[in-house]
């Protein structure tokens, strides 16, 4: 028995130089993984201990909980993960957005390693673990420090960069290996060409950059994280400075809008988005004031300034939830009103609007319209004169808003912004419906039109798209219902 704290249960896998066991931590009462290696692999231990001592922990690298040495054997204790990427892609169909999310998490982990003077040298599907929708880079047995001699040929052949075995190499070999991983996620079959894959041209171009034969043409992990292919993962933060100050408790933490910032704070995370002091009011007139991206704003995570492209997956979830909450408020924040003789027109922070006149109410809802309570994808042709008139009101409102440059607006029909009726689920559901178009609750499908569909006791998990492989029949049924709904509006 190497420790009273840990109990070894069964073998998970064996390699040429190590054995990995499933274990149990009596102290935390959680499953752990226990990797056993002999003293001859002291370099891996040296690297792991350095990462353990690093103040900036990274959730995308599997860093040990503890390392125990006994009788010439090192026992490396790590958290237990669900599977590796080989098992994951053999179980689930992965849509493009989730592939992009996986690539980004691997890049976050590689950026952490490279910033700490380390090259992994064996990035591959089986060395990428999955836990709670988070990717973790594992097995640093072939890793080395950047300042060491880098002519050694090592790694897994199909993931090796072209320069290995020819010249001294750099951390760019990890980027090439990630390119192979990304191509596999997209193409599935090895014989399939990237050009034939059913993904966006933007993603294909990005993967080709990772796979560049010349390492000088490959981006670093930091450069890759700044590419626009990842923009789909970031929600836009509406200009919260326009919204009145408020405080609101949610399941994910307390959201506060105060002075020059908006924040969400829990026991483990505090995310703050704030305007820098140097951002002067007169600068607002030069930009579209509705989004914070157009101003000098910063993100602070647990008192450390970070850019969006370097947020961990967990940090990004908090940030996106905060953005989603402010976006919902933007839908209710009236920033300009025109009172006509026989109509009332209101323009919202979210760029939606409403037009009310005798016998008709028209609302712009993101990419749809609602006319007298009935949703439509397109504005009816027979109302083209009304549409043209409303467009003049929209242009008039936008010009007036820019001219006046008002700093703070109130929510429609609200004396304050506590919004107690907006539960956490309502926020999540509204964000989910806006992105996906439908959602599931207790065997009930809810479409954007408001239609409720019972599924005879069948359940679809309300999770990421990757979980839907086993529910194709149900998804097909939903698609048919969508088509039937669409025909009603044509």
- Give the dihedral of Cα atoms 416, 421, 424, 429; nearest 10 deg: -110
Report how far residue 201's alpha carbon sits from residue 190's, in angstroms, rounded to the nearest whole number. 19
Report how far residue 186's alpha carbon sits from residue 155's, in angstroms, rounded to the nearest whole number. 22
Torsion angles phi and psi, residue 201, rounded to 5: -65, -30
Beta bridge partners of 333: 411
Report how far residue 385's alpha carbon sits from residue 373's, in angstroms, rounded to the nearest whole number. 20
Report how far residue 147's alpha carbon sits from residue 26's, in angstroms, rounded to the nearest whole number. 40
Is 49 annotated for ligand binding?
no
Are 322 and 271 in contact by the 8 Å Cβ rule? The answer is yes
Q: Which regions of 186-296 does DSSP assign to beta strands (E)?
A: 246-250, 253-258, 261-265, 270-275
Residue 344 structure tokens: 């009332």
How far, CA to CA in Å, does 397 sit from each of 237, 243, 335, 378, 439?
22, 18, 9, 22, 34
Report how far residue 464's alpha carbon sits from residue 440's, in angstroms, rounded to the nearest whole number. 12
Residue 290 structure tokens: 């509705």
DSSP-assigned letter for residue 16: S
- Residue 486 burial by Cβ neighbours in a 10 Å radius (0-12, 13-18, 19+): exposed
From the list 167, 295, 157, 309, the residue with the least C-alpha distance to 229 is: 309
Residue 99 structure tokens: 């592939």
Binding positions for ATP are 35
Binding positions are 35
């Amino acid at each position: 028995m190497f420790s009273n704290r840990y109990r070894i249960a069964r073998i998970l896998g064996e390699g040429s130089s190590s054995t990995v066991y499933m274990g149990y931590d009596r102290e935390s009462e959680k499953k752990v993984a226990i990797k056993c290696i002999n003293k001859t692999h002291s370099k891996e231990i040296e690297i792991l201990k350095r990462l353990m001592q690093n103040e900036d922990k990274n959730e995308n690298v599997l860093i040990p909980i503890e390392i125990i040495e006994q009788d010439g054997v090192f026992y490396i204790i790590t958290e237990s993960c669900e599977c590796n990427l080989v098992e994951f892609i053999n179980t689930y169909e992965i849509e493009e957005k989730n592939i992009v999310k996986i690539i980004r998490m691997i890049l976050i982990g590689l950026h952490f390693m490279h910033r700490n003077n380390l090259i992994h040298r064996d990035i591959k599907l089986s060395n990428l673990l999955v836990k709670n929708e988070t990717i973790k880079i594992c097995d640093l047995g072939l890793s080395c420090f950047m300042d060491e001699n880098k002519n050694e040929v090592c790694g897994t052949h199909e993931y090796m960069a072209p320069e290995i075995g020819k010249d001294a190499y750099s951390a760019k070999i990890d980027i090439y290996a990630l390119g192979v991983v990304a191509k596999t996620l997209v193409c599935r079959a090895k014989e399939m060409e990237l050009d034939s894959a059913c993904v966006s041209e933007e993603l294909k171009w990005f993967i080709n950059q990772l796979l560049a034969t010349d390492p000088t043409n490959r981006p670093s992990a930091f450069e890759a994280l700044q590419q626009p292919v990842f923009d789909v993962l970031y929600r836009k933060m509406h200009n919260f400075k326009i919204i009145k100050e408020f405080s609101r408790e949610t399941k994910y933490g307390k959201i506060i809008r105060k002075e020059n910032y908006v924040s969400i704070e829990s026991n483990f995370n505090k995310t703050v988005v704030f305007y820098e002091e140097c951002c002067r009011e007169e600068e607002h007139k030069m930009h579209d004031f509705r989004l914070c991206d157009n101003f000098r704003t910063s993100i602070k995570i647990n008192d450390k300034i970070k850019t969006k492209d370097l947020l961990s997956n967990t940090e990004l979830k908090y940030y996106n939830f905060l953005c989603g909450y402010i976006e919902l408020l933007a839908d209710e924040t009236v920033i300009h009103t025109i009172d006509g003789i026989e109509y009332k027109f209101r323009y919202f922070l979210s760029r939606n609007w409403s037009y009310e006149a005798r016998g008709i109410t028209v609302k712009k809802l993101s990419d749809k319209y609602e006319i007298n309570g009935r949703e439509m994808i397109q504005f009816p042709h027979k109302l083209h004169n009304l549409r043209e008139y409303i467009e003049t009101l929209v242009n008039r409102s936008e010009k007036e808003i820019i001219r006046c440059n008002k700093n703070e607006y109130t929510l429609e029909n609200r004396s304050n912004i506590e919004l107690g009726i907006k539960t956490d689920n309502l926020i999540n559901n509204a964000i989910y419906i806006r992105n996906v178009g439908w959602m599931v609750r207790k065997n009930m499908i809810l479409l954007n039109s408001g239609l409720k569909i019972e599924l005879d006791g069948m359940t679809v998990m309300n999770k990421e798209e990757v979980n839907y492989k086993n529910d194709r029949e149900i998804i097909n049924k939903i698609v048919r219902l969508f088509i039937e709904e669409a025909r009603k509006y044509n």
